[in-house]
């Protein structure tokens, strides 16, 4: 019986019900957490004991006697303990009268900028006395976010605003309220507090189920913050290992924030603050630039601080689709967004560093944005909700390109948002006009106008243009690579220089040939097909979803097959890359995935990959060793790719024990495919005919390249010369017949010129076009 698929509308209704249930559970949990705060120890939740409108821990930093010990709880005189419940207003006054003589004389100096004492081990030090926010210039106030934590102080709740779908709206509510110091945010709920986690460290606890909460704290900064919704993301108990640029010793976390914001010698993207030693390590890297590495690691005594005010490249951005999951909590929810392209533009132009979005998965025309991605959620457990038909689009990398037009050359300068490993080269000269890039955020390519290797073209007076390719892999062209059409225009009249970057890059698919090779015993075929393994593909464009299919042609065969040593070859300059190693595991999951059975019988193996090519050729040749086995082939355990959290199975290795009935011969399979790049430079410059190609437009829309046109013209001219020579020979023979009788040895002697066009000579020496 054929399995019926669930309609999209039904899936959306089920998902909406699931979200409502999760939100209800989160509200119950949040309410229970607030109630439990009243039972916290006095030293962890001092504000609960105070009935005054202002937090009782306002002056806590000035009362520290021992910098390594936690602050003592406020003194409780007997009058407070035995006071009549009907007169609670007298209690705070009496407490203030008792505490006032104990305040040190240096308190005003600390409030005006002195270094507050360090906090206890494992607790972030208070950055300033609590009343500093009231005295702070509004333009110096910024927010600090902590994801996956909830602040529980029920007696300090100022307001709760259900239905809040924007984190920015929640922060604006707190910004406009002078008594607000912190907020809790979940998608659909905003709660404002009159105290913060620096005053009540024990009130900040993890909250990651069923959805994760975002805690934001208001701070008075010493450096003017940027215009973005918040300035820093803080991750408790983590640090960026081995990436420090400058180290300071400071007295508080806020001082570390100020140092990062005020750094002028390099771009401070993040900082590590050690709560025990006060060490502040500034870095020019963050979780985004180091995505895919192991630099971001747990560290119990350290807070990781990520600067949200850095300027990232935004012009050439690529998003990767991550199917089957969406974030549980997002920063913004937009309705009536008609297309996924509009949702993408909202992400690129958001008031924060947006790194992921989804569209249409939680409702019709609903667009959700988040500053989080897999690279920033390492400390959150199960941040995604598994939904088979949904998809999240994560920002892979962005590039800003600028062109410096100089007297004798043009320089293409590229700035990227993620550490780049690869090369940049002029199209058509991947080995001669190239720069290898290793672990860099900025790189450039110099192309001299008189450099033949770089092939800079001149199109008119003072106009120079070239095509540049940014290639991530050292050997092959993949779907992640970018093509740029760069132009320098010189106005020779007034000596001004203009430059431009053409970013509208598209690709064409050209006709190609494919060859299928079948090997006997048993008959095995390797084909390049679509992603489902159905239709054979003869030509493709870089980035097209394809599959490599190995199949035993005889379905009644008793054998199964395993594949190893799969290699892709150029065929022009002997370039090659190993896709499946000798153990049967993929060498790079981004280029080719593991082999898996596409049928229960084991007669067919598939491996998914996106079309790629070599820079010097459009023909990619695959070669693989295939060995049959009986009765079945056992898979091998391979390490998962960068996006996988577990190992994967690949049918690329036979069982280690030998079976007498198993054949020992190995079969070599070869397959070709023509792959064109996606850059489409020629299409962009169809108006400006170059020496690379000639397009001939006919009624049936036929495209003839330069080589074909030249070959046809040569054949036509050769045919005309043959006809002309034959006619000339015949005419000369008739003219000279009467006069040359006495000069020839015999009447039947052939002409030397005619011998060249003798039919037998022509058939033996003719040139084929």
pLDDT at residue number 753: 38
Burial of 85 (C-beta count, 10 Å sphere; 0-12/13-18/19+): exposed
Quick check: 273 pLDDT over 60?
yes
User: CB of 164 within 8 A of CB of 170?
Assistant: yes
Are the CB atoms for 270 and 307 separated by under 8 Å?
Answer: yes
User: In this predicted structure, what is the pLDDT of residue 266?
Assistant: 93
Do residues 622 and 584 both lie within one domain? yes
- How confident is the model at residue 596, as a pLDDT? 83
Residue 138: inside a domain, yes or no?
yes
The reply to whether 207 and 276 lie within a common domain is yes
Q: What is the mean pLDDT of residues 60-76?
A: 39
Average pLDDT over residues 86-114: 36
Residues contacting residue 678 through CB under 8 Å, at least 6 positions apart: 479, 483, 505, 506, 507, 541, 542, 543
Q: Is residue 349 part of a domain?
A: yes
Reduce the DSSP state of residue 54 to 3 states and report it.
coil
Reported as type and span, the H/E element at residue 464 is strand 463-471
Tell me the two tokens of residue 385.
């909700």
- Within-domain flag for 31: no
CA distances 147 to 231, 331, 350, 369, 596, Å, are: 14, 11, 19, 15, 38
Whether 613 is covered by a domain: the verdict is: yes
Same domain as 109, residue 201? yes
When divided into structural domains, the chain yields a total of: 5
Average pLDDT value for residue range 279-306: 93
CB of 392 within 8 A of CB of 322? yes
Instruction: Find which of 464-468, 580-584, 667-671 is predicted with most confidence, using mean pLDDT.
Output: 464-468
Residues 98 and 222 occupy one common structural domain: yes
| In a domain? residue 24 | no
Rounded-to-10 torsion of CA 579, 584, 585, 586 = 20
Q: How confident is the model at residue 727 (pLDDT cuts 50, 70, 90)?
A: confident
Residue 695 lies in a domain: no
d(CA 185, CA 172) in angstroms, rounded, equals 12
Which of 8, 543, 148 minimizes the C-alpha distance to 321? 543
Q: What is the mean pLDDT of the chain?
A: 74
Find which of 273-282, 586-595, 614-623, 645-654 is predicted with most confidence, using mean pLDDT.
273-282
Residue 495 has pLDDT above 80, yes or no: no
In the block, tokens 């360090």 appear at 118
Burial class (CB in 10 A: 0-12, 13-18, 19+), 228: middle
Are residues 176 and 229 both part of a single domain? yes
Which of the four pLDDT bands, split at 50, 70 and 90, describes residue 15?
low
* Closest among 262, 264, 284 to 272, alpha carbons compared: 284
CATH code for position 665: 2.60.40.4100
Report whether 559 contacts 629 (CB < 8 A).
yes
Q: How confident is the model at residue 80 (pLDDT cuts 50, 70, 90)?
A: very low
Better pLDDT: 270 or 132: 270
Pair 639, 604 in one domain: yes
- CATH number at 382 reads 3.50.4.10
Domain that holds residue 596: 518-676
Same domain, 279 and 339: no
How far is Cα of residue 351 from the mean position of the Cα atoms in its chain? 20
What percent of the chain lies above the pLDDT cut of 70? Answer: 66
Closest CA to 569 of 607, 509, 627, 624: 624
Q: What is the pLDDT of residue 620?
A: 86
Residues 92 and 198 in one domain: yes
Q: What is the DSSP string of 538-574?
A: SEEETT-EEEEEEEES-TT-S-EEEEEEEEEE-SSS-
Nearest CA-CA partner of 214 in 150, 124, 162, 159: 150
Looking at the predicted structure, is the pLDDT value of residue 249 above 80? yes
Residue with tokens 């006069």: 739
């991530």: which residue's tokens? 472
In residues, how long is the chain?
769
Identify each DSSP E strand in 677-720 by its residue range.
none
DSSP 306-348: EETTSPPP-SEEEEEEEEEEEESS-SEEE----SHHHHHHHHH
Residues 50, 56: contact at Cβ < 8 Å? yes
In a domain, 17, yes or no: no
* Segment 52-69 mean pLDDT: 35
CB 409 within 8 A of CB 446: yes
pLDDT, one tens digit per residue, over 730-749 is: 877 777 775 555 554 554 44
- Is 374 in the same domain as 428? no
The pLDDT of residue 521: 57
Return the top range by mean pLDDT from 51-55, 214-218, 763-767: 214-218
Residue 631, preceding bond cis, omega within 30 degrees? Answer: yes
Both structure tokens of 152? 């529980």
Ranges assigned E (strand) in 482-556: 482-491, 496-502, 518-519, 524-530, 539-541, 545-552
**Percent of the chain at pLDDT exceeding 90:** 32
The last residue of one of the domains, among 377, 397, 417, is 397
Which of 474, 502, 530 is where one domain is finished? 502
Asked if 712 and 619 sit in the same domain, the reply is no
pLDDT of residue 152: 94
Together in a domain, 345 and 418: no
- Write down the pLDDT at residue 761: 43
- Contact present, 172 and 24 (Cβ < 8 Å): no
Domain assignment of residue 529, yes or no: yes
**Domain ends where: 283, 307, 331?**
307
pLDDT at 96 over 90: no
Residues 602, 462, single domain; the answer is no
pLDDT, one tens digit per residue, over 594-607 is: 888 876 666 788 88
Q: Distance between CA atoms of 178 and 138, rounded to whole angstroms?
A: 10
């Amino acid at each position: 019986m054929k399995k019926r698929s669930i309609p999209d509308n039904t899936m959306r209704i089920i998902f909406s019900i699931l979200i409502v249930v999760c939100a209800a559970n989160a509200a119950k949990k949040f309410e229970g957490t607030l109630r439990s705060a009243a039972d916290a120890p006095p030293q962890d939740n001092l504000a609960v004991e105070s009935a005054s409108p202002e937090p009782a821990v306002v002056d806590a930093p000035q009362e520290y006697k021992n910098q390594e010990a936690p602050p003592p709880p406020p003194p409780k005189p007997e009058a407070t303990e035995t006071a009549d419940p009907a007169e609670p207003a007298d209690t705070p006054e009496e407490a203030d009268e008792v505490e006032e003589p104990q305040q040190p004389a240096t308190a005003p100096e600390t409030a005006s900028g002195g270094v507050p004492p360090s906090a206890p081990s494992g607790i972030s030090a208070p950055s300033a006395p609590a009343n500093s926010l009231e005295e702070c210039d509004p333009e110096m106030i910024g927010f600090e976010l902590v994801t996956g934590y909830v602040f529980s102080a029920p007696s300090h709740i100022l307001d709760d605003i259900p239905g809040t779908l924007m984190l920015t709206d929640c922060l604006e509510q707190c910004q406009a309220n002078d008594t607000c110091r912190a907020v809790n945010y979940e998608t659909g709920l905003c709660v404002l507090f009159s105290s913060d986690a620096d005053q009540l460290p024990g009130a900040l606890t993890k909250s990651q189920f069923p959805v994760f909460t975002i805690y934001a704290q208001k701070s008075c900064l010493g450096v003017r913050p940027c215009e973005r919704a918040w300035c820093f993301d803080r991750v408790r108990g983590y640090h960026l290992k081995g990436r420090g640029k400058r180290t300071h010793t400071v007295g508080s976390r806020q001082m570390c924030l100020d140092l990062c914001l005020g750094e002028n010698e390099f771009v401070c993207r993040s900082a590590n603050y050690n709560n025990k030693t006060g060490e502040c390590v500034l870095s020019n890297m963050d979780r985004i630039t180091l995505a895919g590495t192991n630099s971001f690691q747990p560290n119990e005594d350290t807070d990781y601080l990520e600067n949200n005010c850095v300027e990232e490249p935004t012009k050439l951005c690529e998003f990767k689709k991550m199917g089957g999951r969406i974030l549980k909590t997002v920063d913004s929810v937009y309705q009536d967004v008609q297309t996924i392209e509009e949702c993408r533009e909202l992400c690129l132009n958001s008031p924060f560093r947006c790194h992921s979005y989804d569209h249409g998965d939680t409702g019709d025309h609903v667009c959700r944005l988040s500053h989080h991605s897999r690279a920033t959620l390492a400390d959150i457990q199960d941040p995604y909700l598994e939904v088979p038909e949904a998809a999240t689009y994560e920002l892979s990398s962005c590039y800003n390109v600028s062109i410096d037009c100089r007297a004798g050359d043009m320089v293409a300068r590229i700035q990227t948002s993620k550490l780049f490993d690869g090369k940049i080269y002029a199209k058509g000269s991947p080995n001669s006009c190239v720069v290898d890039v290793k672990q860099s955020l900025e790189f450039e390519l110099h192309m001299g106008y008189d450099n033949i290797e770089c092939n800079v073209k001149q199109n008119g007076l003072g106009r120079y243009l070239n095509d540049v390719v940014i290639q991530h892999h050292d050997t092959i062209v993949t779907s992640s690579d970018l093509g740029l059409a760069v132009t320098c225009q010189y106005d020779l009249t007034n000596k001004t220089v203009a430059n431009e970057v053409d970013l509208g890059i598209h690709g064409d698919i050209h006709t190609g040939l494919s060859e299928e090779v079948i090997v006997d015993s048993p008959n095995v075929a390797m084909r390049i097909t679509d992603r489902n393994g159905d239709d054979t593909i003869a030509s493709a464009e870089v980035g097209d979803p394809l599959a490599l299919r190995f199949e035993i042609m005889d379905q009644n065969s008793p054998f199964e097959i395993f594949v190893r040593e799969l290699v892709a070859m150029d065929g022009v300059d002997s370039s090659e890359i190993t896709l499946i190693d000798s153990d049967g595991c993929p060498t790079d999951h981004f280029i080719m995935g593991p082999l898996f059975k596409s049928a229960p019988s084991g007669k067919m193996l598939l491996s998914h990959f996106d079309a790629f090519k070599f820079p010097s050729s459009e023909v990619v040749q695959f070669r693989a060793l295939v060995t049959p086995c009986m009765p079945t082939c056992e898979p091998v355990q391979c390490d998962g790719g960068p996006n996988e959290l577990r190992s994967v199975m690949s049918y690329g290795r036979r069982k280690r024990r030998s079976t007498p009935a198993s054949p020992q011969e190995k079969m070599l399979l070869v397959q070709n495919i023509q792959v064109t790049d996606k850059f489409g430079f020629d299409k962009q410059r169809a108006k400006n005919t170059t020496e690379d190609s000639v397009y001939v437009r006919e009624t049936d829309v036929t495209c003839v390249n330069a080589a074909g046109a030249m070959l046809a013209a040569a054949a036509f001219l050769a045919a005309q010369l043959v006809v002309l020579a034959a006619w000339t020979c015949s005419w000369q023979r008739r003219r000279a017949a009467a006069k040359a009788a006495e000069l020839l040895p015999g009447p039947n002697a052939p002409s030397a010129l005619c011998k060249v066009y003798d039919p037998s000579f022509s058939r033996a020496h003719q040139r084929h076009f």
